[in-house]
Amino acid sequence: MRTTTRWVGITLAGVLLAAPLAACSQRGANNGGSEASGPCKGQQTTGITKTSIKLGGTYPLSGPASAYGEIPKGVRAYFDYVNKEKGGVNGRKIQWIVRDDAYQPPKSVEEARRLVEQDKVFALFQTLGTPPSTAIWDYANQQKVPQIYVATGASKWGTDTKHPWTIGWQPNYVAESRIYAKWLKDNKPNAKVAVLYQNDDYGQDYLNGFTKAIAGSGVKIIAKQSYEVTDPSVAPQMSKLAESKADTFFDITTPKFGSQALAADAKDTSWNPLHILNSVSASVTVLKPVGFSHVQNVVSAAYFKDPADPQWADDPAMKLYKAKLKQYQPGADPEDQFHAYGWTVAESLVKTLESMKCPTREGLRDAMRSQHDQTDDMLLPGVLVNTGPGDGFPIESMQLERFKGSRWHLFDKVVDTRKEFGPVQ
Amino acid sequence: MTFLEVSDLRAGYGAVRVLHGLSFSVEEGEICAILGPNGAGKTTTLRALSGVIRGRGTVTLGGTNLLGRSPENVARLGVAHVPEGRGTFTQLTVEENLRIGGYVRRDADGVRRDIDRVYAYFPPLRERRRQVAGSLSGGEQQMLAIGRALMLRPRLMLLDEPSLGLAPIVTRELFGIVSAVNEEERTTVVVVEQNAHLALDIAHQAHVLETGHIVLSGTAADIRADEQVAQAYLGYRV
Amino acid sequence: MAEFIQQVVQGLGSGAIYASLALALSLIYRFTGIVNLAQGEMAMFSTYIAWQLVHAGMSFWLALPLTLLISFAGGALIERIIIRPVEGAPELTIVIVTVGLFVFVNAAAGFIWSFLIKSFPNPFPDGALNVGGVQFDFGTLGVLGVVAVVMGVLYLLFQYTKLGLGMRAVAQDPASARLAGIRVGRMLALGWGLAATAGALSGILVAPLLFLDPNLMSGVLIYAIAAATLGGFDSPIGVVVGGLIVGVAETLAGAYIGFIGSDLKIGVPLVIIIVVLLLRPQGLFGRPTVERA
Amino acid sequence: MTTGRETTRRTAPAEADTPYVSPRERAARLLTGRPARWTFAAVLAVALIYAPFYFVPFRNFQLTLVLVYAVALLGLNLLVGYSGQISLGHGAFFAIGAYATAILMYRGLVPYPVTLVVAAVLCFALGFALGVPALRLRGLYLAVVTLSIGLFLQPFLKRFGSLTGGAMGLTIPKPEPPAWSGLAPDQWLYFLALLVAAVTFALVWCLMRSRVGRALLAIRENETAAEVMGVRLAFYKTFAFAWSAMLAGIAGAVYTWVIGFVSPDSFTIVLSITLLAGIVVGGLGSMSGAVFGALFVEFVPSVSQDVNEAAPGIIFGLLIIVVMFAAPTGFAGLLRRLLAVRK
């Protein structure tokens, strides 16, 4: 075949030509990171200087999951507040670069590589979504770059031991399921439960956690329905679950589908189960569109203060959050739970940065894995951040809440699921 | 003032120039035939007149300029162009095709009357009025195309090779009707035809086109008598 | 037995939602022979306009007609600005332009009105009609009713009005329509305007049930396309029937066939479409294109 | 009666002007002349081989992804560009190829190069199987069926978790560079992708010059005419479908090597639509179209993000529309028009 031989000739010529050119390349020039001296000798200090810390994060700013693209506004508000009014962290101003991965794992890997290799960030702070974060964590750990406080509640961030540089932050879905299971075992020992769950890692983590937690007790799951993110509505699933006449309904949905499920439950007068709503959809902004009268006595759990909830109206931390959000992110709606989430996780990060012994990546890794009763103003009173050698979950305590009138009412006490149920397997 | 005045008409498709400056005129109520072999530029001429393609030079119809207008506006000036391939709306019924012909007219009852008039000219169309036009024979579709043109009550009718794909007797009958319409309604007709023989029967004057130029003009009788045309197009030796 | 009927009613409810958007899709397909992938997002944007009017204090029954008018103008404008420049281009190019429009409108809506879920006033009364243990939710009945009305109006418009005849002519042979004096450009703009209006109505019908957010219609679009393909794109009645069949089949399969369950139920419309298209390529009600060589 | 006009005879004036060649045309002739083409190809080859040594690993990663998308778009182009069948499910075959490789590598059954062959064969078979019913469908209807298959695949992958790792997906070790090569991991992956791309482009290049290619082009131009002239429509259309699926599978396999992680949410409908937009933007019916399309798919989203961080979707959508205005037949078409040499 004459043509292929011609191609082979060209590529050979290319290889011969290319070899000598390999010497002078952009590649060799700037991939050396800087190291620390003194007590933190040999540890990496790329992306951190006396006066600045450079961080990077990946979020779905576009595409179907772009609702979560609101979180960075809350984070940026807190960082601007700390930089401008607190002189930064130990005198270091925080610079935070956000990249869009449209919730596509290949894009997440690309953006993470850009942040680490090109922008030379000190650490990856907040990579959103389990698939994107899973796509990144091998790379982050191989590059020895902290992937701190990933924005997903999957239990694997804490149970895994092969990725020391990666850690979650919010209470994991299994822990939350355990709280509901415990409450049901105590208050409704023979509850018949119907479950609606999103058919992905998030939904299945909740479901598996709940199933394990109620094993061997009177509480039984008698009906399960899943839905796809591409489904237009969950009404068909809800009408199928209604047939089960279960007395309890465990609702594992993301915000939009949460409102639909609440509305369907209210509309079906023949089925009035105890409605347990997972914390991902527990913001008042999800309940309000359904109409407060329809969502009375819904039960959920929380670990940080919901800005849309009047009970925190005069709480100092909430006032600070709302004022600073308005000041530094004028367009952002303070009642949006994603903004409050961003603000709260940013606060936790700053506290962790402050607690670093060595201003190095290794220092941050060790700091994030050894936190003792660290408080955070926007967390519920009593919810503390704890990590340690055997404990990869910063937050593991939540408090149950019931919706009455036009706000959530906390009840029982803050439950530390680690103490209560032991570590998550 | 002549009815249709065409002077130095140039037209083409992108880089390909087809018409190299045609000039001819047609009196009101006259049937003018444009003859010529394939590729002489006959269809292009009609397309330039009706605005389907952009022509340069000057073309006036009763004093108003035609060039530069979109086909819709040319049609609204009373120019009905029956295109090559007849432009039948195959999925619409025969009657719907005719109603489309009179679409721009405001007088609804006038349109209804004209439909009956067309059925009078073309009886087969009346029988098939409910039928989907796509299922009509070639001859019937040609009748429908001319009928649709008549619905516009045109001042000028441009016919593009009506004989295409029709049996000679059908074409003869068709040309007879065109001639009758011309006489009764004084509609000026420019017919482009390869079948010079039949065209010359009904035409008052004719022009012979060759590679974008008019090489011969004159009355139908003169053209028929001219031995060069006879040899080239009429197929017999004078 | 009541439960079975309840599932069928549930399926009809979903089907009505798909049919409402499918009507708008079939309108544009009739003119330009392309599927406007941005139809759902345009409907969502119109719904946000209605929401904004109601939010600003206007009564729903005033905001509705106003929104339909704005949507009509918007649809015509989109045709004139975005579709006209690529009019002569290959069909696929126009489809990709609508993909660009899809991405743009979705992001713009999120940017303007944020991604917070918004409730939308429900023109139909709450509660349900209880007939023999089967609940006929007023909202669903409302959607079915309006969809039937829109279907009827479109059918009458196309079959019995001069305007409809003109539209059908433009759809089939724009060049020949021009020669008859029909202003094809204006007709296309009119078509897109009408489709945008039908889309707006679909959005306004659906928002109370699905809750308003920028991704209101992205799930519905795929099912609407399936419905229109099943029923035959060029027949308003076919499109609605197609929608109802897809809705009922999907819900019943999801509910009763164990293996399929609620995650694989998207496979049901797929199988139906393949079977129908293999038997009747033009869809259940579509007219076969008569080609006389 | 007509006026007695004299029959006048005019002869056609001779075309007198000598052919004037505009500078643009002269430049175009220079650019597309035979010698020029080889120097251009040689320079390109050198650049492609030298690139991984020049760029930072991050850029190599991007270039590797461009090569992966180029192979996928090459397949889609075979289907859409050459044989005129629209597919909105190309992402599904990409996913099947990726998963086949991931499952085999996760269980360590075969060395990774073999997984490419398995993915290719599997997708070829599935493509052929799907090609048969696709024969009866055309244009929009084929698009709808392929769209639904793409949609169906995601829950299907989640359903059989034991095999596919379910919603959590599968993480697999990436192919390591052999010691003798002295290459860094990212360079090794780049060269793997480059090799696969070179082979597939050469294969399709030969294919298009063969009888098959001409048959496909005939089908695209006019199916009935092609059939009348003895082109066995059934065979060639399913052939195009199978080849395009195979190429998508191969691209999927290389994707798994490069990313090292597959999950059902990585292969959504957005991927299929982006690939279709990419090939139309790149230029249908031309090999270079696949390359331009790949560059568009890889780089435009991040460019639109630099322009407007709050809502990159707005810019990305506008860019697609603007490109379609500027080049209705894609970049390749635009380039060809610019370099058009009037014979």
Give dist(CA C22, CA C20) in Å, integer. Answer: 5
Query: What does DSSP say about strands B31-35 and B188-193: parallel, antiparallel, or unpaired?
Result: parallel
**C219 CA to chain B: closest CA distance, Å?**
34
Find the CB nearest D10 among B205, B215, B222. B215
Q: Is the pLDDT of residue A21 over 80?
A: no
Q: Is the pLDDT of residue A98 over 70?
A: yes
Nearest CA in chain C to B134: C290
Question: In the predicted model, what is the mean pLDDT of residues A188-203?
Answer: 92
Q: Is the pLDDT of residue C159 over 80?
A: yes
More confident residue, A352 or D134: A352
A26 touching D, CB under 8 A? yes
pLDDT of residue A26: 63
Give dist(CA C110, CA A373) in Å, integer. Answer: 39
pLDDT of residue C48: 96
CATH number at residue B189: 3.40.50.300
Instruction: Give the tens place of pLDDT for each residue, A154-163.
Output: 988 988 889 9
In this prediction the ipTM stands at 0.84
Reduce the DSSP state of residue D14 to 3 states and report it. coil
Range with lowest mean pLDDT among B20-34, B202-216, D7-21: D7-21
pLDDT of residue D11: 47
C281–D144 CB contact, under 8 Å: no
- CA-closest candidate to residue D19, choices D317, D254, D343: D343
Highest mean pLDDT among B28-37, B177-186, D93-102: D93-102
C291 touching B, CB under 8 A? yes
pLDDT-derived band at D343, boundaries 50, 70, 90: very low
Find the CB nearest A233 among C103, C210, C214. C210
Q: Is the pLDDT of residue D321 over 80?
A: yes
Question: In the predicted model, what is the mean pLDDT of residues C17-44?
Answer: 90
Nearest CA in chain A to C9: A236
Please name the residues in contact with B238: beta carbons below 8 A apart, sequence gap of 6 or more.
B225, B227, B230, B231
Buried residues in A29-48 as b, exposed as e (16+ CB within 10 A): eeeeeeebeeebeebbbbbb
pLDDT of residue D268: 87
pLDDT of residue C274: 79
Range with lowest mean pLDDT among C128-132, C227-231, D67-71, D300-304: C128-132
Q: Is the pLDDT of residue D100 over 90?
A: yes
| CATH, domain A41-171+303-394, list 3.40.50.2300, 3.90.550.10, 3.40.50.2000, 3.30.1330.40 | 3.40.50.2300
Mean pLDDT of chain D, nearest integer: 84
More confident residue, A1 or D169: D169
Q: Which two tokens stand for residue B114?
A: 């004209």
pLDDT of residue A25: 57
C180–B76 CB contact, under 8 Å: no
Question: In the predicted model, what is the mean pLDDT of residues B32-54?
Answer: 87
Instruction: Give the tens place of pLDDT for each residue, C170-198.
Output: 888 888 999 999 999 899 999 999 999 99
Instruction: Evaluate whether D263 touches A131 at the Cβ level (below 8 Å).
Output: yes
- CA-closest candidate to residue D61, choices A141, A115, A166: A115
Question: In the predicted model, what is the mean pLDDT of residues D94-107?
Answer: 93
CATH entry 3.40.50.2300 includes domain A173-302: yes
A105–D158 CB contact, under 8 Å: no
Percent of chain D having pLDDT more than 90?
Answer: 28
Give dist(CA D316, CA A63) in Å, integer. Answer: 11
Chain D residues inside the 8 Å CB shell of C266: 148, 151-152, 155
SS (H, E, C) chain A: CHHHHHHHHHHHHHHHHHHHHCCCCHHHHCCCCCECCHHHCCCECCCECCCEEEEEEEECCCCCCHHHHHHHHHHHHHHHHHHHHCCCECCEEEEEEEEECCCCHHHHHHHHHHHHHHCCCCEEEEEECHHHHHHHHHHHHHHCCCEECCECCCCHHHHCCCCCCEECCCCCHHHHHHHHHHHHHHHCCCCEEEEEEECCHHHHHHHHHHHHHHCCCCCEEEEEEEECCCCCCCHHHHHHHHCCCCCEEEEECCHHHHHHHHHHHHHCCCCCCEEEECHHHCCHHHHHHHCHHHHCCCEEEECECCCCCHHHCCCHHHHHHHHHHHHHCCCCCCCCHHHHHHHHHHHHHHHHHHCCCCCCHHHHHHHHCCCCCECCCCECCCCCECCECCECCCCCEEEEEEEECCEEEECCCCEEHHHHHCCCC
| Count: domains in chain B | 1
| B209: enclosing H helix or E strand | strand B205-210
Q: Which chains touch B (3 or more CB pairs under 8 A)?
A: C, D
More confident residue, D37 or B112: B112
**D44 CA to chain A: closest CA distance, Å?**
9
C16 touching D, CB under 8 A? no
pLDDT of residue A319: 93
**A105 CA to chain D: closest CA distance, Å?**
6
Question: In the predicted model, what is the mean pLDDT of residues D321-336?
Answer: 84
pLDDT of residue A110: 92
Every domain range in chain A assigned CATH 3.40.50.2300: 41-171+303-394, 173-302
Q: Describe chain D by its helix, strand, coil percentages, rounded to 5.
A: 75, 0, 25
Buried residues in D64-87 as b, exposed as e (16+ CB within 10 A): bbbbbbbbbbbbbbbbbbbbbbbb
Chain C residues inside the 8 Å CB shell of A334: none
Q: Describe chain B by its helix, strand, coil percentages, rounded to 5.
A: 40, 25, 30
Q: Is the pLDDT of residue A298 over 50?
A: yes
Neighbours of A264 (CB within 10 A): 24
pLDDT of residue C41: 95
**B130 CA to chain D: closest CA distance, Å?**
30
Neighbours of D113 (CB within 10 A): 12
pLDDT of residue C55: 92
Find the CB nearest C179 among B81, B90, B132. B81
Question: In the predicted model, what is the mean pLDDT of residues C234-243?
Answer: 89
**C118 CA to chain A: closest CA distance, Å?**
6
Q: Do C and A share at least 3 CB pairs under 8 Å?
A: yes
Question: In the predicted model, what is the mean pLDDT of residues D298-316?
Answer: 85
A11–D169 CB contact, under 8 Å: no
pLDDT-derived band at D255, boundaries 50, 70, 90: very high
Burial of D287 (0-12, 13-18, 19+ CB in 10 A): middle
Chain C residues inside the 8 Å CB shell of A341: none
pLDDT of residue D18: 56
pLDDT-derived band at A10, boundaries 50, 70, 90: low
Q: Is the pLDDT of residue D341 over 70?
A: no
Instruction: Give the tens place of pLDDT for each residue, B216-236.
Output: 888 888 887 776 666 665 555
pLDDT of residue C29: 85
Nearest CA in chain A to D310: A61
More confident residue, C276 or A341: A341
Q: Do B and A share at least 3 CB pairs under 8 Å?
A: no
Name the C residues in 111-150 with CB < 8 Å from any B CB.
Answer: none
- CA-closest candidate to residue D146, choices D79, D208, D194: D79
C178–B72 CB contact, under 8 Å: yes
Domain borders along chain D are 55-268
Q: Integer distance in angstroms from the first to the last C-alpha of chain C? A: 54
pLDDT-derived band at A358, boundaries 50, 70, 90: confident
Instruction: Evaluate whether A252 touches A195 at the Cβ level (below 8 Å).
Output: yes
Q: Which chains touch D (3 or more CB pairs under 8 A)?
A: A, B, C
pLDDT-derived band at A92, boundaries 50, 70, 90: very high
| B189: enclosing H helix or E strand | strand B188-193
Q: Is the pLDDT of residue D15 over 60?
A: no
Instruction: Give the tens place of pLDDT for each residue, B122-136.
Output: 888 899 989 989 888
Q: Is the pLDDT of residue A291 over 70?
A: yes
Instruction: Give the tens place of pLDDT for each residue, D194-207.
Output: 999 999 999 999 98
Q: Is the pLDDT of residue A32 over 70?
A: no
pLDDT-derived band at D30, boundaries 50, 70, 90: low
- CA-closest candidate to residue C254, choices C14, C16, C1: C14
DSSP state of C118: B
Name the A residues in 130-159 with CB < 8 Å from any D CB.
Answer: 130-131, 134-135, 138, 156
Nearest CA in chain C to B154: C180
CA distances to A188, B53, D97, D214, D241 from D72, in Å: 55, 41, 11, 22, 13
pLDDT-derived band at A418, boundaries 50, 70, 90: confident
pTM (2 decimals)? 0.87
Mean pLDDT of chain B, nearest integer: 86
Instruction: Give the tens place of pLDDT for each residue, B104-153.
Output: 888 889 899 999 988 988 888 899 989 989 888 888 888 899 999 989 88
Percent of chain A having pLDDT more than 90?
Answer: 50
pLDDT-derived band at D334, boundaries 50, 70, 90: confident
B75 touching C, CB under 8 A? yes
| B58: enclosing H helix or E strand | strand B56-61
